Amino acid sequence: MDKIDSLILQIQRGHGDGETANLLLNEFYHEPDLRRLFPLLNSPNEKIAEVGIWIASELGNRCAPIEKDIQFFLGHPSKRVRFFAIDSLLTSSIDPKATAKVLDLFHDPEEAVRWKAMDYAVRVKDELLASAIAFWNENERNKNILLKICRKELDLPAAKMLLVGDSSLERKLGIIAAVRLDYLELLKEAVRNNDSDVTSFAKSVDRENHRSKVNSTGQP
C-alpha cells in the first residue's frame, strides 16, 4: 500500500479532512494513473465522491484521460459533484458532447450548478462551444442565438433584448453574450436584472479580464 492508497483509505473510513484531501491532491500531481481516483469518484457516499471530483477539478488537463468518466458525474445527485465535474471538464475535455451536457445544466435545480454552467459557457473556447450546439438539447432558435454569440455576430441591441427575455434561458444567453462579446454596459445593467441567476452571475464577473470568480473557498 502506497501513500495514495493510504490516504484514500482514510477518506473512505471517514477519518479524512481537508488536509487529507490536499495531501492526496499533491500525490496525484505525480501520479500518471488517474484511474486511481475511481474508488473515490464511484463511492455511493456523496461526501467521498465530492472529494474525488474536487481533486479531479484541481488536476486540470491532467484528467483528460478520464474525461469520459468525468462526464458521467454531470448527472450525480450531489450538487457539489455536478459543480466540480463542470469545473474539471472545462480544462480536461475537448468533446463537444460533454460541452452540450454542461449547457443542459442551465436548467439544473440548484443555483450553484446553474452558475457554474454559465461560468463554463463564458470560459470555453468559441470553437468548442460552437461545435457543441448540434448536440445541445435545445430548440433551434436558442441554438442559433448561441451560434451568433460564438461567431461574435450578436449585436448589443439583440443582447439587450435577451437580457429582458421571457425565458430564463434567454436571459442566461444575454449575460453570456455580455461577457463573451465585451458588452460592459450590458453587464452593468445585468446587475439590476430581476432574474436572480443573471444578477448573481453578473456580480461575480471580473470586469477586467471577463472571468467569473469562484468564492474564496472555491466551493458551491
pLDDT in tens, 95-151: 999 999 999 999 999 999 999 999 999 999 999 999 999 999 999 999 999 999 999
Decide if pLDDT at 215 tops 70.
no
Cα–Cα dist 172/157, whole Å = 16
The pLDDT mean for the chain works out to 92
Answer yes or no: is 215 within a domain: no
Could you list the residue range(s) of the whole structural domain that residue 34 is in?
1-93
Verify that 62 and 45 share a domain, yes or no. Answer: yes
| Residue 86 grid cell | 463542470
Cα–Cα dist 134/131, whole Å = 7
Verify that 116 and 198 share a domain, yes or no. Answer: yes
Output the pLDDT for position 220.
58
Decide if pLDDT at 2 tops 60.
yes
Beta strands in the chain, from DSSP E residues, in sequence order:
205-206, 211-212
Verify that 110 and 203 share a domain, yes or no. Answer: yes
Decide if pLDDT at 152 tops 80.
yes
Verify that 65 and 102 share a domain, yes or no. Answer: no
- Residue 206's DSSP bridge partners are 211
Task: Tell me if the pTM is above 0.95.
Answer: no
Residue where a domain terminates, one of 47, 66, 93: 93
Verify that 106 and 205 share a domain, yes or no. Answer: yes
